[in-house]
Amino acid sequence: MDRANIVIIGGGVVGCAIARAVSQGWDDVFLLDQMPKLGMVTSSRNSGVIHSGLYYTPGSLKARHCLAGNRLTYEFCAAHNVPHRRTGKLVVTTTPEEAELTHLAERGRANGLEGLRIVDRAAIRAREPHIEGHAALEVPSTGIVASEELVKAYARVAAEQGANILTHARVVRLEPQKDSIQVWIRTGNAAGPTSDASVESVDARCVVNAAGLFADEVAAVYPLPHPEGLSLGLHFTKTLWGTVLVGPTARYVADKADYERDRLPVEEFVRRAKPMLPEIEASDLTLAYSGLRPKLVPPPDPARDKPGVKRIADFVITRDPNVPHAIQLIGIDSPGLTAAPSIAQHVSQLVAQTLE
C-alpha cells in the first residue's frame, strides 16, 4: 500500500489552491479528481468575478475568506500571468429608495472593504451610458478573472512544488485507521464499452475533502437545513474577451449532472434586465453556459420561510469531529473562486494540527 502525507479530494479551484498551499510545507501530497481535466464542474462554469466581500455577514467565513481572497487572488494572478482585470462594479437601484444601498455599504465597511461610495444617476451614466438607475454603490475592489486559467495556474505551481496531480481518479471508499485514512481510488477511464480502470489504495495521514458539488457524498453526511439564499440578483458582467454576461438565474435541481434541463428562455433574461438596461432586446442575447453550486441549503419551505427573505449559509471548513485525520469543506459555493487562496491558508493550518 502506498502512503501519503496529504490526499486532497477534488481538483476544482479550491482543491488546487489547497494543493499549492500545502505542497509548500509538505511532500507526498496527492490531489485527486474524477474528471478528465481539472476544474470541469463548478470552477469553470461561473461568471469569473473576483468578489469584494460586500454581501456576507460580518465575521462569517465567507466574509473573512472573500476579503482576504480578493487580495490574494489579485496577487497570485499578477505573479503567475493569469488573465484578470480589476474593473470595479456598480450595484444599481432603479428606484428612489436607497436604503438597501446604504445597508450594503455599511455591511461592506464592517467587512473591511475600502473605497465604497454611493453615486447618483449622472455618475452611473458617465461610467455606463446604457445603464438606467437612480443611484448605485460603487465597489472598486471587484474584478474578473479567467477562472479556468486560474485553476490551471494553482495546479501548475502545486506540481512544480512536488504535488502529484491525478485526473480520472475517483475516490470509491474511505476507511479510517488509527492514525490515518485508507483511500480507495479507481483510476483510469471507466467510461465506454471497454474500461482500463483499476482500483488501488493509499494510506493518508490527512485527507482533505474539497470535492465541491460532491463534498456531501465524500463526507457521507446530510447537511442540516441552513438559511436560504440562492443568488445575489441579476448581473451584467463584462468579460476579459469583450463580451457581456447577463445573469445569473438560480433554482434548485435534484441531479448534480443537470446542466441543460428546463433552461430559461432568452426572453426571461431580457425581462429581468430591462429595468436596468431599457434598450436591451432578445436579439442582443445568446444562451451561454449553465453551472451548478454546492448549496448548503434546502429549497425554501413556504410554511416556514418569509416570502422574499434572502439569507446566506456560511462555509463549513473543519476537522471532522469523528475522523480527526479528515478535513471537511462543505457548501463551498460563491464566493469560493475568490476565497480559494484564503481558504487554502485556513486548511493549511488545519493540516498542520492534524500532522503534528
301-341 per-position pLDDT tens digit: 666 556 555 556 889 999 998 888 999 998 898 899 999 99
* Rounded Cα distance, 157 and 16, in Å: 9
What pLDDT score was predicted for residue 225? 31
Give CA 174 to chain center in angstroms. 25
**Has residue 218 been placed in a domain?**
yes
Same domain as 173, residue 119? no
pLDDT at residue 83 is higher than 60: yes
Q: pLDDT band at residue 104, thresholds of 50, 70 and 90?
A: very high
pLDDT at residue 146 is higher than 50: yes
On average, the pLDDT of the chain sits at 85
What pLDDT score was predicted for residue 89? 94
**Has residue 245 been placed in a domain?**
no
**Has residue 217 been placed in a domain?**
yes
**Has residue 290 been placed in a domain?**
no
What pLDDT score was predicted for residue 308? 54
66: phi > 0 → left, psi -120 to 50 → alpha, else beta; which? alpha
Q: pLDDT band at residue 228, thresholds of 50, 70 and 90?
A: very low
Q: pLDDT band at residue 300, thresholds of 50, 70 and 90?
A: low
Same domain as 320, residue 220? yes
What pLDDT score was predicted for residue 356? 85
Same domain as 133, residue 110? yes
Cite the DSSP H helix spans in the chain: 13-22, 61-79, 99-110, 121-127, 147-160, 215-219, 266-273, 336-355
User: Considering only 22-31, 164-173, 212-221, 347-356, which range has the smallest mean pLDDT?
Assistant: 212-221
What pLDDT score was predicted for residue 42? 84
**Pair 274, 284: CB distance under 8 Å:** no
What pLDDT score was predicted for residue 81? 97
Domain boundary among 121, 140, 159: 140
Same domain as 155, residue 34? yes
**Pair 54, 104: CB distance under 8 Å:** yes
Same domain as 320, residue 219? yes
pLDDT 10s digits, 271-284: 777 777 787 888 77
244: three-class secondary structure by DSSP: strand
Q: pLDDT band at residue 213, thresholds of 50, 70 and 90?
A: confident
Higher pLDDT, residue 157 or 196: 157
- Domain of 42, CATH number, reads 3.50.50.60
What pLDDT score was predicted for residue 223? 31
pLDDT at residue 292 is higher than 70: no
Range of 20's domain?
2-53+148-224+314-355
* Rounded Cα distance, 18 and 192, in Å: 32
pLDDT average, residue stretch 288-311: 58
* Rounded Cα distance, 319 and 324, in Å: 6
**Has residue 178 been placed in a domain?**
yes
Percent of the chain at pLDDT exceeding 70: 81
pLDDT at residue 288 is higher than 80: no
What pLDDT score was predicted for residue 268? 77
User: Considering only 43-57, 189-203, 326-340, which range has the smallest mean pLDDT?
Assistant: 189-203
Same domain as 161, residue 203? yes
Q: Which of 47-51, 163-167, 267-271, 295-299 has the highest mean pLDDT?
A: 163-167
pLDDT at residue 230 is higher than 50: no
- Which contacts of 61-65 are long-range, i.e. CB under 8 A and separated by 24 or more positions? 61/314, 61/315, 61/317, 62/312, 62/314, 62/315, 62/335, 62/339, 63/111, 64/342, 65/315, 65/335, 65/339, 65/342, 65/343, 65/346
Domain boundary among 111, 140, 169: 140
**DSSP letter assigned to residue 19:** H
What pLDDT score was predicted for residue 74? 98
Number of structural domains (the chain) is 2
pLDDT at residue 97 is higher than 70: yes
Domain boundary among 140, 157, 181: 140
pLDDT at residue 193 is higher than 70: no
Higher pLDDT, residue 243 or 116: 116
